[in-house]
Amino acid sequence: MLTKLTTAAVVTAALMASATFANAEALRDKWCKDVKIRFFVGGAEGDAFGTIVYNGAKQAAADTGAQVDYVFSGWAVEKMVQQLREAVAAKPNGIAMMGHPGDDSIMPLAQQATKDGIKMMYQNVPVPKVVAAFGGGYVGAQQEAQGRALGAEAAKLSGLKKGDTAIMIGPFDNQNRGARERGTVAALEEAGIKVVKINSDPNWGADPNQAIPIVTAALVANPTTKMVGYPGGQMLGNVPAFMKAAGKKPGDIFNFGFDTSPQIVEGFKAGWVQLTADQQPFLQGYLPILSLCQQVVYGLAPLNADTGAGFVNPQNYQIVAKLATEALR
């Protein structure tokens, strides 16, 4: 027996069928396949931090289908600026740029990118003036806030007292990038700790062994030093080399810094490293590409994500150890 449908029921059924069809159409495989992106990895090919960023970016490209060209800069800010100039001239749909060169250097190129209709994202180091002027999103830790938090945690865990000496290494003369290490110094000094600052060379990111004579000389010049802070995963992962060159044993110095890597995990295991701040570089690779795809294909607003995840120490490093050895954390 056939059931007679009312007009309302027919309309409702038609709308439901239409909605189901629309939902099916919205689910697209490789939905970003026609989008061309230049992605700045920051470091050199194979370096500890840059490899995790690169792996995140590669995963995003595989998931979205985006056409991504990867740019390696060896952490050299002048090189990044020139490479950004070349990237803008190539007129891709989007560029994911490391913020290390700072607002002033990036500003005119961001202006040209906007004029050419190129979407911009920034990772690792924020460029708030550029974003305020020409838009774009940021994926990474908030530099000063993360630096201050690390300094406060290091002061607490190390047990240093007022008047004790610490050494902090960092790019203090870089206005944007150095905000993190300046924040760490500020927190340590607020705890009453005397801080000796060493301005880092960008080349140390690519080859931290270049810093061995500088670190050992600083320890000799400041023999009462009880703590040393490092500006990135490459340097923190090289702590055993620094300490051995200075004649130190595991635990003699409280060594702390930023990031995780296979080398840093080994440092925790052997007692060389006592604390690090995790900024989840995998997300700094993945989310900028995802956001550029969303902006270009769907017209969505740029993403902003604080990737500062907290601290890794000798008590909890095993939680991230396996992923770190796979260059994912």
Go through the domains of the chain in sequence order and give each one's CATH number. 36-141+280-309 (3.40.50.2300), 143-278 (3.40.50.2300)
Lowest-confidence range among 23-27, 78-82, 173-177, 193-197? 23-27
> Which pLDDT band, with edges at 50, 70 and 90, does 309 fall under?
confident
Tell me: the pLDDT tens digits for 106-136? 999 999 999 999 999 999 999 999 999 999 9
Q: 317: which 2 tokens? A: 């490093």
> Which residue would you say has higher pLDDT here, 263 or 17?
263
Mean pLDDT for the chain overall:
93
- pLDDT value, residue 171: 96
Please give the Cα distance from 28 to 181 (Å, whole number): 43
Question: What is the percent of the chain where pLDDT is above 90?
Answer: 87
- pLDDT value, residue 16: 59
- pLDDT value, residue 300: 98
Please give the Cα distance from 89 to 68 (Å, whole number): 16
pTM: 0.87
- pLDDT value, residue 27: 75
- Whether the predicted pLDDT of 19 surpasses 60: no
- pLDDT value, residue 5: 47
> Which pLDDT band, with edges at 50, 70 and 90, does 32 fall under?
very high
Residue 30 exposed, middle or buried by CB count within 10 Å (0-12, 13-18, 19+): exposed
- What average pLDDT does the segment 179-205 reach? 96
- pLDDT value, residue 1: 42
- Whether the predicted pLDDT of 6 surpasses 90: no
- Whether the predicted pLDDT of 2 surpasses 50: no
- pLDDT value, residue 18: 54
- What average pLDDT does the segment 47-67 reach? 96
In SS3 terms, the chain reads as CCCCCCHHHHHHHHHHHHHHHHHHHHCCCCCCCCCEEEEECCCCCCCHHHHHHHHHHHHHHHHHCCEEEEECCCCCHHHHHHHHHHHHHHCCCEEEEECCCCHHHHHHHHHHHHHCCCEEEEECCCCHHHHHHHCCEEEECCHHHHHHHHHHHHHHHHCCCCCCEEEEEECCCCCCCCHHHHHHHHHHHHCCCEEEEEECCCHHHHCHHHHHHHHHHHHHHCCCEEEEECCCHHHHHCHHHHHHHCCCCCCCCEEEEECCCHHHHHHHHHCCCCEEEECCHHHHHHHHHHHHHHHHHHCCCCCEEECCCEEECCCCCHHHHHHHHCCCC
Long-range Cβ contacts of 1-8 (<8 Å, 24+ apart): none
Residue 298 has a CB neighbour count (10 Å cut-off) of 10
- Whether the predicted pLDDT of 60 surpasses 80: yes
Please give the Cα distance from 243 to 215 (Å, whole number): 9
- What average pLDDT does the segment 280-291 reach? 97
- pLDDT value, residue 244: 98
- pLDDT value, residue 298: 97
- pLDDT value, residue 205: 86
